[in-house]
Structures are given as C-alpha cells and as structure tokens.
Amino acid sequence: MIKKFFITGTDTNVGKTIASSILLKKATYHGYKTAGYKPISSGGKKKSNIILNNDTLILKKNSAIKLSNQEINPIAFLENAPPHILSCLYKRDITKQNMSLGLKKIAKKSNWIIIEGAGGWYTPLSYKDTFSNWVKKEKLTVIIVIAIKLGCINHAILTEQAIFSENIQCGGWIANNIVPNNQYNIHYIQTLLNYIKSPFLGEIPYLKNKNKIDYNKINIILPK
C-alpha cells in the first residue's frame, strides 16, 4: 500500500519544505522508498530555460528514489506570487487532472510520498478550485505545519476545522519554531495541544542554518 501525505501550512513561509524533508528522511530510515512531490511552485531561478525552485531541490535531495526536477515539480513559475494569478498571466492552466497524473507517475516508483502544497489550505489553483479540492479528490491524508509565532493559534484551529469540515483525514501537526528564543513558544505549543484534535507529530527547533540540519536530533514521528 502506498502512503501519501499532503503537507499544508497555517500560512506561507511556515516551514513546509523543512518539515517535508525531515519526514522524508525519517521514512527513508524506516525502509520506505520515499519521494517528494511539489505539483506547483512559484519563485526560483532560471537556468538553461529550466526554472529551478529551491523547495523542489530540497525535496529531490531528501527523496530516496531518483527523480528529475520535472517529475517532482511539473508546474513551475519564475515569479513569487499566487499560482492561480501566474497561471492566468502566463496562460498556463493548472488542472487537478495534471496534478493527479504527476502523482500517479511518482507512485509507480515509490511507496511513501510527501506532497507539498503552496501557501495555506485554501490556496487557489484557479478561480474555481483550491488545493483542498484536489486533496479531497485524491483522498490524501493531511499534515499541518504550524509556525510558532503570534497569531498561530487562531490560524491553526481554523485550518484544522476547515480540513475536518470537508471530511478529510488529518494525520497530525508539526510545530516549527521559526522565532529564536521566544519565551512564549512553550505556551503556544501547550495551547495548541489543548485545541488541536489531530496527533502531535513533534517539534522542529529553531534552525539558524537550514542547510545544515542534523535530522537525527529532530524528534518527529511518522504519521500513520
């Protein structure tokens, strides 16, 4: 049976890619043939007519199986802006069918897949579809990444409630300490433990250098 998890966040820039890379490493250690999939990306550098997105490169590096940039990230935009807006500007349709096709191709090679979204739960794919519509179509289990900062409690509760309202399974949540030496972090996390009904998968410490991560020292458990 292939395990497929969709990584969403309480907002943009909350650490979805870092959380994804940690989960991929942990699952690889447990013997899974892991793969990262980022169907849509915005923001990157152009090299030989190819857009290189940093999140895509991180997912590629931490996947157990070898995948091309195109396989991991079939739809890439150079500018850093909402995907549905760039889709309209550059006349590149984003369809749920194409996203599913990319996932199906990866599923033929791996048995444990992390699918990283863009922005938060209701990030639009177009003016009629959001990421949540595709997640529901694919019957994916969702993992929420919560950036521990002022405002995170409200955003986290709303995100989980939105997921539950669509009868989608939430496999857990991860706390990501994005602010160094915040005296309130422990209180934020304790409050979230009281309010969030999904399993707590663990906590990512503040990472000063995200390019040098000791994955063995990060206590994250794999979702079921």
Q: Is 145 part of any known ligand binding site?
A: no
Residues sharing a CB contact under 8 Å with residue 167, sequence separation 6 or more, in sequence order: 136
> Strand 112-120 to strand 34-37: parallel, antiparallel, or no bridges (unpaired)?
parallel
Closest CA to 69 of 86, 95, 48: 48
Q: Is 126 part of any known ligand binding site?
A: no
Calpha distance 84→127 (Å, rounded):
7
Q: Is 38 a catalytic residue?
A: yes
Q: Is 119 part of any known ligand binding site?
A: yes
Q: Which of 4, 38, 60, 96 is catalytic?
A: 38
Q: Is 15 part of any known ligand binding site?
A: yes
Q: Is 205 part of any known ligand binding site?
A: yes
Q: Is 16 part of any known ligand binding site?
A: yes
Q: Is 14 part of any known ligand binding site?
A: yes
DSSP secondary structure letters along 50-105 = EEE-HHHHHHHHH-SS---HHHH-SEEESS-S-HHHHHHHTT----HHHHHHHHHH
> What is the phi/psi pair of residue 27, to 5°?
-70, -35
Q: Is 11 part of any known ligand binding site?
A: no
Q: Is 176 part of any known ligand binding site?
A: yes
End-to-end CA distance of the chain: 12
Q: Is 69 part of any known ligand binding site?
A: no
Calpha distance 2→111 (Å, rounded):
4
Which amino acid belongs to residue 132? S
Q: Is 177 part of any known ligand binding site?
A: yes
Active-site amino acid positions: 38
- Which residue ranges make up the annotated binding site? 13-18, 42, 55, 116-119, 176-177, 205-207
Known binding residues for ATP: 13-18, 55, 116-119, 176-177, 205-207
Q: Annotated binding site for substrate: which residue ranges?
A: 42
Residues annotated as binding site for Mg(2+)?
Answer: 17, 55, 116
